[in-house]
C-alpha cells in the first residue's frame, strides 16, 4: 500500500493525535505478521510509556517513547493504523491494539500481514536488521545526482528497479518510481549504468518533486489507502502514468503502456520516455 508520502501522512496524523499520550496496554490478536510479533517484549517495553515523538524512517513509522524505546511499525502492502474509541467493535484483521489513556485505541489492521510491529531500544535502532542496511532518504543532501550517477556506474539493473532498491534509496515504491521516471523522460528499462549525469539530475529532481507534491496531497489512494482520519490521498488525480495503460499521455498523444519488472507493473509513455 504505502510509499513514503503515505507513511508520512500517517506519521503526521499520529503526531497530532498521540503525542504526550500514554499507552496503558498492548494486546496482540495475531502475531503472524511479516516478522512474528514479540508480545512480551512489546508489552514490557511500552506499557505505561508516554509518546514523545513520531517520525518516519524510510517506510517505517517510528513512535518514540519517554523511556528511550521506539515502536517500529511497517504497513507492508495492506497495513493501516486507526485511532478509535476504545469500545468500538474490533474489525477483521485488527492484529495489534494499543490502548491509550483517554479511552482510545490505536489499532494496527493488516489483511495481508506483510506489515511489522516491534518495540526497539533507541540504542539498538540504528543497528536493527531492518534499519541498518537502508540507503539514503530522498530529502537528504546525500540524495544527489553526482553520488547516484557514481553509484550506478556499471549497474545493469533497470533504472526503475535501481531507484526502488531500498539499499540505495528509500521511500520510492512502485507508483512513484513510474511517475518520477515519466517526469524525467527516462524509459523504465534503461540500464541504470547508462543513465548519464544530466539525466540523473533530472531524475533526482523528479523524485524529490513527485514525493513532495504527493505529501502535500496526503498521498495517493489507488484502492484503499487512508490516513489516520480515514481520509484518502489526493495525489491520485495528479498521476500521469500509474494505472493509466491504454489511456492517452497527458503530454503527447501516445498511449500509455504497461510492462513488468519482476512481477511488478510499470507504466510509461513510449512517446515521452527514452
Listed ranges 19-27, 61-69, 205-213, 263-271: which one lies at the site for DNA (CB under 7 A): 263-271
Site for DNA contains 3 (CB under 7 A) = yes
Among this protein's residues, is 254 annotated catalytic?
A: no
The verdict on whether 59 is a catalytic residue reads yes
146 part of the active site: no
Shortest distance, CB of residue 227 to DNA, whole angstroms?
A: 10
**Residue 70 touches DNA, criterion: CB under 7 A:** no
| Given 56, 59, 130, 244, the catalytic residue | 59
Site string for DNA, 168-207 (x = CB under 7 A): -----xxx-----------------x--------------
Residues sharing a CB contact under 8 Å with residue 273, sequence separation 6 or more, in sequence order: 181, 182, 185, 186, 187, 188
Binder of DNA out of 184, 233, 241, 272 (CB under 7 A): 233
Say whether residue 139 binds DNA (CB under 7 A). no
Q: Minimum Å distance from CB 89 to DNA?
A: 16
Q: Which stretch binds DNA (CB under 7 A): 64-72, 83-91, 101-109, 157-165?
A: 157-165
Q: CB-wise, 200 or 225, nearer to DNA? A: 225
Q: Is residue 259 close enough to count as binding DNA by CB under 7 A?
A: no
Residue count, binding to DNA (CB under 7 A):
42
How many other C-beta atoms are found inside a 10 Å radius of the C-beta of residue 85? 9
Give the binding range for DNA (CB under 7 A) out of 38-46, 83-91, 139-147, 222-230.
222-230
* 194 carries an active-site annotation: no
Q: Give the chain as a 3 state SS string.
A: CCCHHHHHHHHHHHHHHHCCCEEEEEEECCCCCCCCCCHHHHHHHHCCCEEEEEEEECCEEEEEECCCEEEEEECCCCCEEEEEECCCCCCCCEEEEEEECCCEEEEEECCCCCCEEEEEEHHHHCCCCCCCCCCECCCCCCCCHHHHHHHHCCCCCEHHHHHHCCCCECCCCHHHHHHHHHHHCCCCCCEHHHCCHHHHHHHHHHHHHHHHHHHHCCCECCCCCCCCCCCCCEHHHHCCCCCCCCCECCCCCCECEEEEECCEEEEECCCCCC
- Give catalytic residues, as residue numbers: 2-3, 59, 264
Binding site for DNA (CB under 7 A): 1-3, 6, 32, 34, 58-59, 74, 76-78, 92-93, 111-114, 130, 154-158, 161, 166, 173-175, 193, 219-225, 233, 262-265
Amino acid at each position: 500500500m504505502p510509499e513514503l508520502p503515505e507513511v508520512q501522512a500517517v506519521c503526521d496524523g499520529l503526531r497530532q493525535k498521540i503525542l504526550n499520550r500514554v499507552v496503558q496496554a498492548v494486546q496482540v490478536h495475531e502475531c503472524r505478521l511479516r516478522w512474528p510479533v514479540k508480545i512480551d517484549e512489546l508489552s514490557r517495553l511500552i506499557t505505561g510509556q508516554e509518546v514523545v515523538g513520531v517520525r518516519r524512517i524510510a517506510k517505517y513509522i517510528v513512535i518514540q517513547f519517554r523511556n528511550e524505546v521506539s515502536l517500529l511499525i511497517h504497513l507492508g502492502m495492506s497495513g493501516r493504523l486507526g485511532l478509535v474509541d476504545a469500545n468500538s467493535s474490533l474489525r477483521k484483521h485488527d492484529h495489534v491494539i494499543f490502548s491509550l489513556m483517554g479511552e482510545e485505541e490505536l489499532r494496527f489492521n493488516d489483511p495481508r500481514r506483510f506489515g511489522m510491529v516491534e518495540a526497539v531500544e533507541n540504542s539498538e535502532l540504528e543497528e536493527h536488521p531492518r534499519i541498518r542496511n537502508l540507503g539514503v532518504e530522498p530529502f537528504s543532501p546525500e540524495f544527489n545526482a553526482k553520488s547516484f550517477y557514481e553509484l550506478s556506474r556499471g549497474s545493469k539493473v533497470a533504472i526503475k528497479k535501481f531507484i526502488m532498491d531500498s539499499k540505495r534509496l528509500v521511500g520510492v515504491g512502485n507508483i512513484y518510481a513510474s511517475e518520477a521516471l515519466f517526469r524525467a523522460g527516462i524509459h523504465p528499462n534503461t540500464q541504470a549504468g547508462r543513465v548519464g549525469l544530466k539525466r540523473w539530475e533530472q531524475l533526482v529532481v523528479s523524485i524529490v518533486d513527485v514525493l513532495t507534491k504527493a505529501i502535500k496531497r496526503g498521498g495517493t489512494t489507488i484502492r484503499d489507502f487512508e490516513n489516520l482520519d480515514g481520509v484518502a490521498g489526493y495525489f491520485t488525480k495528479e498521476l500521469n502514468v500509474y494505472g493509466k495503460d491504454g489511456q492517452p499521455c497527458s503530454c503527447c498523444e501516445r498511449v500509455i503502456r504497461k510492462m513488468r519488472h519482476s512481477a511488478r507493473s510499470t507504466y510509461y509513455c513510449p512517446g515521452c520516455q527514452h
